[in-house]
Amino acid sequence: MSPITARAAVLRQSGAARPYADSRPLGLETVTLDPPGPGEVRVAIKAAGLCHSDLSVINGDRPRPLPMALGHEAAGVVEALGEGVSDLAIGDPVVMVFMPSCGHCAPCAEGRPALCEPGAAANGKGELLSGGRRVFREGEPLNHHLGCSAFAERAVVSRRSLVKIDPALSFEEAALFGCAVLTGVGAVVNTAQVRAGQSVVVVGLGGVGLASVLGALACGASPVIAVDLSDDKLALASTLGPVHTVNAADPDAVDQVRALTHGGADVAIEMAGSVRALEAAGKMTRRGGLTVTAGLPPPDAALPVNVVSLVGEERTLKGSYIGTCVPSRDIPRYVALYRQGRLPVDRLMSGTIPLEDINAGFDRLHAGEVVRLVVTF
């Protein structure tokens, strides 16, 4: 098998000035992909979502090794198989998962592949799970973004980064299941284990936060309360089902939530990636309740915790990464719920754009104008 070329969006320096449409931090480059090695797959990308996790690499909030071929939320078609890959076939539709799982480390062995230790190490180094890089620009190795590098016409990834999906699902919709849905719905279903009738508040209504709202509704939570600074996103949340909305800018936002839940929510989920938002979510949680955070602020962010309240009120603060997911189990389940009309993920899509408009797309994401823009190929 020979190397192949593709166009990819490559970040060479973070912290560019906005608007990105002018500074163009993501350059469209023709790159060379090595053939997939043992346990690897080449995927023809069909759709890739723009996520705040990508934006945080562009603006420098999440340091990553550069230069890097960016993108981590995507769906596509299997184009070539490396040695030993026997459970996929050329032409299979797949969703990418941004944490590959080795299946052998301690977290994987106890059924927690989202915490895979070799997967986390590989992602941190910009490599694939099996080690090294498969994408180059004129001989220069480029780092992989979370094992995916999905803002590209093609990508070589670990088999462990892929889940085969229902071929009836459109690629634009399927892409969202690899990050927004896994993280948002999973935080409700897996991390918080929300039960019917429990009260849930979601703070931060990006793609992941709105997916949490959908997850809470699907679980039968009541009431479900959505909190954000954007009236447009609050309006969207109110159309998803019986959802109360509170603008986070209101001085009495916490009191409003506590009134709606008769003293505080059973479960509060923070998805804004902000310490201030997490503090508010904690105040919105009842005594004995659970506060879950899946937001990712800058690495140096720290949360002050009132230990007396934590102990005396038996509060629980819990992190959630990729929705505490088992991708091969959860993605098919969530797709099935979507096809039944119980998880209307398509409502999160704000539109599609070509790869050429990706920098302007991130301007719109930063400004809060969109929930999920999807690059289509």
How many angstroms separate the CA atoms of 362 and 31, rounded? 22
C-alpha distance across the termini of the chain, in Å: 24
Q: What integer pLDDT is reported at residue 1 of this predicted model?
A: 85
Q: What integer pLDDT is reported at residue 299 of this predicted model?
A: 84
Work out the mean pLDDT of the chain and round it to a whole number.
97
How many angstroms separate the CA atoms of 101 and 157, rounded? 12
Quote the DSSP letter at residue 251.
Answer: T
How many angstroms separate the CA atoms of 125 and 111, rounded? 24
Q: What angle do CA 177, 179, 181 make, to 5 degrees?
A: 50
- CB atoms near residue 103 (< 10 Å): 12
Look at residue 300 and tell me whether its pLDDT is greater than 90. Answer: no
| Mean pLDDT across 48-56 | 96
Cβ distance 285 to 291 under 8 Å? yes
Q: Which three-class secondary structure state does DSSP give residue 362? A: helix
Look at residue 314 and tell me whether its pLDDT is greater than 90. Answer: yes
Q: Which three-class secondary structure state does DSSP give residue 295? A: coil
Q: What integer pLDDT is reported at residue 366 of this predicted model?
A: 95
Q: What integer pLDDT is reported at residue 292 of this predicted model?
A: 98
Report strand pairing: 40-49 vs 93-96. Answer: unpaired
Which of these, 71, 79, 61, 62, lies nearest to 26 by C-alpha position? 71
Tens-digit pLDDT profile for residues 196-254: 999 999 999 999 999 999 999 999 999 999 999 999 999 999 999 999 999 999 999 99
Q: Model-level pTM?
A: 0.95
- CB atoms near residue 114 (< 10 Å): 26
